[in-house]
Amino acid sequence: MELPLTPLDFLHRARRLFPDRVGVVDGDLRLTYRDYGDRCDRLASALVRDLGVKAGDRVAWLGGNTHELLEAYYGVLLAGAVLVPLNLRLAPAELRAILADCQPAVLVRHPDCADPGHADAGHPDAGHPVESIVLGEAYEARLAAQPAGPVPLPPVDERSVAEVFYTSGSTGTPKGAMLTHRALYLHAVHSALTSGMGGDDVVVHTIPLFHVNGWGTPHYLTGLGGVHVMLPRFDPGTVLGLIEAEGVTRLFLVPAMATALLQHPGLEGFDLSSLRQVSVGGAPTPAPLLAEIEDRFGCTAICGYGMTETSPTLTRSLDKPGETPSRARRVTTGLPIVGADVRVLGPGDVEVAWDGATPGEICVRSNHVMAGYWGDPEATATVLRDGWLRTGDVATVDPAGYLTIVDRTKDLIISGGENISGVEIEKALAEHSAVLESAVVGVADDRWGEVPRAFVVLRPGTAATAAELRDHVRARLAGFKVPRDVVLVAGLPRTGTGKVAKPVLRTWDPPPVSEGAAGTPG
Q: Which of these, 235, 256, 308, lies nearest to 85 by C-alpha position?
A: 308
Q: Are 127 and 99 in contact (CB under 8 A)?
A: yes
Predicted local confidence at residue 503, as pLDDT: 81
HEC string for 397-426: ECCCCCEEEEEECCCEEEECCEEEEHHHHH
Q: Are 434 and 459 in contact (CB under 8 A)?
A: yes
Distance between CA atoms of residues 12 and 427, nearest Å: 47
Terminal-to-terminal C-alpha distance of the chain: 67
Predicted local confidence at residue 120, as pLDDT: 43
Predicted local confidence at residue 24, as pLDDT: 98
CA 472 to chain centre: 26
Distance between CA atoms of residues 491 and 522, nearest Å: 4
Q: Are 210 and 85 in contact (CB under 8 A)?
A: yes
Predicted local confidence at residue 127, as pLDDT: 59
Mean pLDDT by 10 residues, the chain (522 residues): 94 98 98 98 97 97 97 98 94 90 96 76 57 95 95 93 82 84 98 98 96 94 98 96 98 90 95 98 84 96 96 97 95 97 96 95 97 97 96 93 83 81 84 90 89 92 94 94 94 68 86 59 35
Q: Which of these, 25, 18, 60, 28, lies nearest to 374 by C-alpha position?
A: 60
Predicted local confidence at residue 424, as pLDDT: 82
Q: Give the long-range contacts of residues 507-510, CB within 8 A, separation 24 or more.
A: 508/455, 510/455
Q: Which of these, 111, 112, 117, lies nearest to 84 by C-alpha position?
A: 117
Predicted local confidence at residue 430, as pLDDT: 85
Predicted local confidence at residue 497, as pLDDT: 42
**Tell me, what DSSP letter sits at residue 48?**
I
Domains and CATH numbers, the chain: 1-187+201-226 (3.40.50.12780), 412-505 (3.30.300.30)
- Please list the residues that pair with 457 across neighbouring strands: 437
